[in-house]
Structure formats: structure tokens, C-alpha cells
Amino acid sequence: MPASPRLASLLPAALCVAALPVLFSAPASAQAPPLPVLRLEYGASIPPVVQAEVRDALAQGGSAGSGPVEVIDAAATRKKLLDASPALAGCESKECLKRSGEVLKATAGLAVEVQGEAQIYDMQIIVYNLTDGSTATSEKFSCDVCTAREVGEKFTTTLQAVLKRVQVKAPAQPEIKVAPPKEDPKPVKPALVEVQIQATPAEARIFLDDAPLGAGSAAVKLAPGDYQVRTEAPGFEPTRTTLIVKPDAPGPIKVELALSPVVAAQVTPPPPEPTPTPTPAPAASPERSTGRLIGGGVALGVGLGALGAGAWLLGLDGEATCAEGAINQCPNVYETSAGGTVLVAVGASSATAGLFLLLWDVLTGEPTPAAAPATTHHLRLHLAPDQVGVSGAW
């Protein structure tokens, strides 16, 4: 049977109303605030099956007065605290609780104790306010002669009642403000400064950073900065200077450049090399040469005299001392061999020395001294049986 037009128009509205619970319930479950278990402590005699019931009850979570919460088990909580700071694990002072809340990003935390024996169990649930480190609420309860299932049911009922008394909220998220994009400030062009350049001589060309400005003078407006000013002219030394224009420099800036004429280099010829003058051989001193001649003549004369005397004595040796008569008539004879030998030896030596002195200039190559006044030299040897003599003049 086809649907009526009125029913067809109401169908979309009905679908929207049906979808509202789904749309509003999903975010609430996803945004449930965390409730970490800071401490879960069992007595030594608590059997493992009872411990498992308590852990299951905690894992089911529940709803606080502010709505559903997500219970974080003790093992995961302890790991996060140890990673942040080992001192936080197991610490329940105010400062530790506040610091734990910052690390766990939670506003409340649980501490659970289970003690007992022989199926009689004493339990306590503590809820801490992690924003200021205070105790929000706590509950002590017991279960006498209870099985493990009964302990779990009792713990679940009490946990739900305790959570209803507190407001567990999600930690406040820091507000993120997005700053509007900054507009790039418009660049401010610096003011130009007038620069006047004057060069001497007038035909000198002016360059600014190698760009020609003209000859003699130039006027330009420059932005703040460093510039190279160069001038050049034929017959003059080129100049270069650095021009610094400051932003606050008052204009105009005057620059005066004077070029120096090129000075021709004067080449001085090297002085002529001096002609070497031969060094004359030292002339023999006339006095010294004359002395050698005199000494040589005396030595030669004495030597010849001694030779003659020695030869005469050698010849006289063995002759009779009598002027007349034979040897058999004169018992005495001359014994002059020794004296004659000595005189011959002395005479030979003296004659050799005298001859050497007389021939000194010839043997040594010394120049002959300047001519001296003529002098007559003569030597006479006197021989007699009873005397020997030499006479002469120099």
C-alpha cells in the first residue's frame, strides 16, 4: 500500500529525532574523565581469586556525580608516574598528589586497600582531589564470611556509592589562541643624502663605484651606505677613497679630491767602475841594500882571508921550525893542521854568506835601489909566515 503524502513528509523528521540520542551519547562516552588508581594494596592473606574480583570491579568503572568516568588500572598509572619521576610512585603527600595530577592529566585519583583472613575482609576506598592534594572522600567497609564473588559485588556497590559523592571532571584544556597573522610592515625607504664631489684638475674624471659621473665636479643623491669614489686624469696619479653616507647625515656632503702630477722617474747611471791600479812591488830600502852589500863584502873578504890562511897553515903543517936547516937539525916542526882546517871551514862559510848577501837582489828579485853616490870599494889580503891580515875600503 503506498504511503500517504502526509506520512512521507513526517518520515525525515522522525529519523532526525531517532538519531539525537546517538549523537549526544557518543561524545559523552568518548570524553569520560580519567580516574587513575594511584594505589591498590592487598593483605598477605588475600587469595588471588579475591584480588581478581576487585580488579574486575575497578575495570568496570562507574559513574561519578558528574557523570561516567574511565578508571585507569594501577599498573598503567604506576608506569606513567615512574616515567615522569620515580619519586611520585607510591607518594601520597599533597605536593606529590598535585604533581601526579599534572602528569596523569586527571583531577581525581583512587587508593584501594583490601585486608582480612578466613573469609572476613576489611576494605577502604579513598578518592583524592589531585588539583589541591586533598582527600575528597573515603569509605571503609567489610564483608564477613564472604566468597570471592560476594566480595566483588560488595566492592562494586560501595565504589559506585563513593563515586556518586564526588565530582570528577576532565582537566581544563589550555585555551589556544591563534594570533592573527602579522602584516609585513611596509619597508620605509631611507632618505637620500646629497653628495657634491669636486676634483682637481678640472679635466679629472669622477667615478662612483666605477660608474662615471662626469669631469671636474658632480652632484648625486645617495642612500645610506658605503661607496667607492675614484678620480683619474692624464698626467696625474689616480686617487680612490671610500665615501660613507650615514642615515642621519645632514646634506650636502662635500668631497674634494686633488690629483698629484706624475713625477718622471730620474734614472741615475751607475758610477763607472774604477780602473784597477797595479800595486808596485815594494822598493828596497837604499840603506838596507847598502848594508847588505857592505856586510856581504866584509863576509866575503873575511871568508877568502880565512880560506887562504887555512890553506897556508895546512901547507905549513910538518915543516921545521928552523929558518935554515933540515928536519934532523931542528927537533921542532909546525903542527898547524887543526888550525888550518878550522880556518878553511870558517872561511868557506863566511865566503858563502858574503856571496849570498852580495847577490841578494838578484836571487830575491827585489829592485835595485836608486843610484847612490859612487864609492870606491877595495879589499887586500896580507899573508906572511907569522901573520895574516885583510885591509880594504868601502
Domains of the chain, each with CATH number or no CATH: 26-164 (3.40.50.10070), 193-258 (2.60.40.1120), 286-393 (no CATH)
- Kindly report whether the peptide bond that precedes residue 252 is cis, defined as omega within 30 degrees of 0: yes
Per-residue pLDDT of the chain (394 residues; tens, 9 = 90+): 444 545 445 545 444 444 444 434 434 445 678 888 888 899 888 999 988 988 888 888 666 666 788 888 888 888 988 898 888 888 889 899 889 889 988 888 889 999 988 888 999 999 999 889 899 898 999 998 899 899 889 988 888 888 888 877 766 665 556 666 676 667 777 788 888 898 888 888 999 888 998 888 888 888 888 999 999 999 898 988 898 888 887 778 888 888 888 876 666 767 777 777 766 555 556 666 677 778 878 877 888 888 888 888 777 777 766 665 555 566 667 777 788 788 788 888 888 887 777 777 667 766 555 544 545 555 565 555 555 565 655 5
Alpha-carbon span 32 to 28, nearest angstrom:
6
* Contact predicate 197/218, CB 8 Å: yes
Other Cβ atoms within 10 Å of 47 Cβ, number:
13
Query: What pLDDT was estimated at residue 231?
Result: 92
H or E element in which residue 76 lies: helix 74-84
Coil, strand, or helix at residue 307? Answer: helix
Query: What pLDDT was estimated at residue 123?
Result: 92
- Give strand ranges (E) for 150-294: 193-200, 205-208, 211-215, 217-222, 225-232, 239-245, 253-258
| Strand pairing category for 387-393 and 378-384 | antiparallel
CB burial class (10 A; 0-12, 13-18, 19+) of residue 141? middle
122 Cβ contact partners less than 8 Å away, ≥ 6 residues apart: 114, 115, 116, 140, 141, 142
* Contact predicate 143/151, CB 8 Å: yes
Query: What pLDDT was estimated at residue 24?
Result: 40
Cell of 342: 878550522
Query: What pLDDT was estimated at residue 114?
Result: 92
Q: Name which of 174, 187, 170 is nearest 70 in CA terms.
A: 170
pTM value > 0.75: no
Other Cβ atoms within 10 Å of 267 Cβ, number:
6
Query: What pLDDT was estimated at residue 163?
Result: 84
List of long-range contacts for 381-386, beta carbons under 8 Å, 24+ apart: 381/301, 381/304, 381/305, 381/308, 383/308, 383/309, 383/312, 385/316
CA distances to 201, 218, 229, 261, 352 from 204, rounded to whole Å, are 6, 11, 12, 12, 97
Alpha-carbon span 242 to 230, nearest angstrom:
9
Alpha-carbon span 89 to 391, nearest angstrom:
148
